[in-house]
Structure 1
């Protein structure tokens, strides 16, 4: 569709915008029907005539009765038009912004690899994932935060304190967490379906670690909780080493969903035969460390299970826990057979976990990689005890 203008500066800048976007010889048209007055039209034409005199544009005239009227304006010489408008070329702006972007930052080489694509986009007058050349300071903060994460400066520090210590303002990370994750993606392993804040949780960066909820025949240090008979116990993940099992659990089960966690301990295991823990979606680094601690308290003969949604995210959560505890984990109510029987093909496609053949979730991950694979939310299933303690 032809581009039509009543403002000469807008027309001339549009020619340069499209030139910077890759158009070799863009053209634009006066919008004679939209001029507010004869004076406005005359002013427009005089401004275009001055650009022609500068050698910046060429004019195409109409035909027939309109042969004395400008039909279109074509870019003739970009440099001349830049000079005529007093406009700095996007390539120069991009080069200058690119230098300011990294000046004084000691960056990991893998972060540096992202810079050419950023300056290339800016050089074409485009933004890079919503960041234009004028946003160089914000993007510089994103690089600084990403580098600080690679330097492990985020560990044992809450979200806002990490942001303040790194870039001087506590809310900066909240505003640009998406681009920080984008810069780190491919360097660090993030679950592909996770939102930026969830992804950062998995590497230990969060506001404050959520409580670890655990149900079972447990005490806390020397405190006897047998008479209290709590529904479950909530502690900070760093206090996991204070847990004491009054009796060895027959199994250990981690559960992604809060409703399923509550239903399991109330309906499937009211006698607390096992130790059941709620991991809250993608388990934070603190939660992963707590699971490793608790797994080390039980016998190697005690089976470990995990129950998540039957979908790619569920396989990522499973494999994350599997790696965290450093011993075999079995899927609970997560199988190809259950998916085929109760699930439905999802319109949302994402990659399942990349896991070795010996992983407990390998078979389900391979199944979910297929186009016609079915998925199922765990809330759709009634809780039962894990094998071999039930008739599953």
Structure 2
């Protein structure tokens, strides 16, 4: 009973009156009841609890927690908050005195003292917290330095001073802690932690930039192939060999391969595979090549919440450079005609602004519980009459 009262006190530290009740029928004998009462009275003598008897003094009505500190001392138990503070002492000493960090550790300590997880960390997972904070610090340093190079999860984890699998294990926790400590650079609400890391150039393994077109590497023309895989560190050396009919980014690999083989066999267009959310390094090359092409600019992806997020990610990056992105095979009529029931609800955070080129599709997605993967569609040559690659000049 005493430990139960203390457990409840730790769960509800601000509760005014915590009571426990005695099950008289649970005693195996009169002697067992007498020993129990003797132990309760010894605890009461310390001031740790108060015993309330029934009116006839025959039984105990209830036992009330009076002074937790006295009760902890009586049973030789360490308060949970003291235990948590001791566990966090090393992290507090190492983390630095920033107000945001102090507030973070206090929030974690309060939760752990109540036996409740915080930021995705289970109570007392000091090792997980320490590793996650090291990764957050390394990500912040990378962001502040403007480092756009690609690095895989395991190499990044080692460079941050953690074990090689730390980021894979702690990705959601790292994203939450980063958002708390660096709110001005927090992941957008519509981004998953994985996509957020990809945007920072931290990926499970840096992928080659896949693209199709008439291209040069440095001053050398590339041989005619359906498409090319360029190592990330050499992607900045890719240039256009001549005029481009249009630029098309494609979300999924199968659709990319089909389009370059079935539609772009003459290599007159520039087709770029985004691999879902493009990494920051790949996005830089997409923007650079799209600007150099000065041609109609389109994107083809899934018609669902994820497809909307990817389109908006590209659209915003391109708009910052005066480039206007248009959807290809991502129209309302196709969705209504060929869409299948959607299992996942749309997230309000994914809603594009009304002036986005993908807003009409969003409206239909919001009104119909449908979705359509782009692999369901046969590749088609884009309609270039309505797809200008440049934003209209502001008046």
TM-score w.r.t. the length of structure 1 is 0.78
Extract unaligned runs of 5+ from structure 2: 387-395
* Aligned counterparts of 1:235 and 1:36: Cα–Cα separation in 2: 78
1:283 Cα deviation from its structure 2 partner: 1.1
Cα separation, partners in 2 of 1:247 and 1:109, compared to 1, 3 Å: farther
Extract unaligned runs of 5+ from structure 1: 1-7
1:54 aligns with 2:46: yes
* Aligned counterparts of 2:328 and 2:311: Cα–Cα separation in 1: 10
Residue in structure 1 matched with residue 249 of structure 2 by the alignment: 254
* Aligned counterparts of 1:261 and 1:161: Cα–Cα separation in 2: 29
Q: 1:212 aligns with which of 209, 213, 228?
A: 209
Q: Is the CA contact 2:119–2:176 (under 8 Å) kept in the aligned structure 1?
A: no
* Aligned counterparts of 2:338 and 2:59: Cα–Cα separation in 1: 70
Residue in structure 2 matched with residue 266 of structure 1 by the alignment: 261
1:75 Cα deviation from its structure 2 partner: 1.9
1:136-215 matched pairs, under 5 angstroms: 136-152=126-142, 156=149, 157-185=151-179, 186-192=183-189, 194-215=191-212
1:238 Cα deviation from its structure 2 partner: 2.9
* Number of corresponding residues: 374
1:200 Cα deviation from its structure 2 partner: 0.9
Q: 2:357 aligns with which of 344, 355, 360?
A: 360
1:178 Cα deviation from its structure 2 partner: 1.5
Q: Is the CA contact 1:93–1:133 (under 8 Å) kept in the aligned structure 2?
A: no
Residue in structure 1 matched with residue 390 of structure 2 by the alignment: none
Q: Is the CA contact 2:148–2:280 (under 8 Å) kept in the aligned structure 1?
A: no
1:381 aligns with 2:377: yes
1:187 Cα deviation from its structure 2 partner: 3.4
CA root-mean-square deviation: 3.7
1:303 Cα deviation from its structure 2 partner: 1.0
Cα separation, partners in 2 of 1:359 and 1:162, compared to 1, 3 Å: same
Residue in structure 2 matched with residue 5 of structure 1 by the alignment: none
1:1-392 matched pairs, under 5 angstroms: 8=1, 10-20=3-13, 22-30=14-22, 46-60=38-52, 68=58, 70=60, 72-93=62-83, 100-106=90-96, 114-131=104-121, 134-152=124-142, 156=149, 157-185=151-179, 186-192=183-189, 194-221=191-218, 222=220, 224-226=222-224, 229=225, 231-298=226-293, 300=294, 302-325=295-318, 326=321, 327-343=323-339, 344=341, 347-353=344-350, 358-365=355-362, 370=366, 374-388=370-384
Cα separation, partners in 2 of 1:388 and 1:188, compared to 1, 3 Å: same
Q: Is the CA contact 1:108–1:147 (under 8 Å) kept in the aligned structure 2?
A: no
Q: Is the CA contact 1:131–1:139 (under 8 Å) kept in the aligned structure 2?
A: yes
1:84 Cα deviation from its structure 2 partner: 1.8
- 1:196-234 deviation line (CA, Å, top 9, x unaligned): 3332111112243112111234454525412xx3x3211
1:306 Cα deviation from its structure 2 partner: 0.9
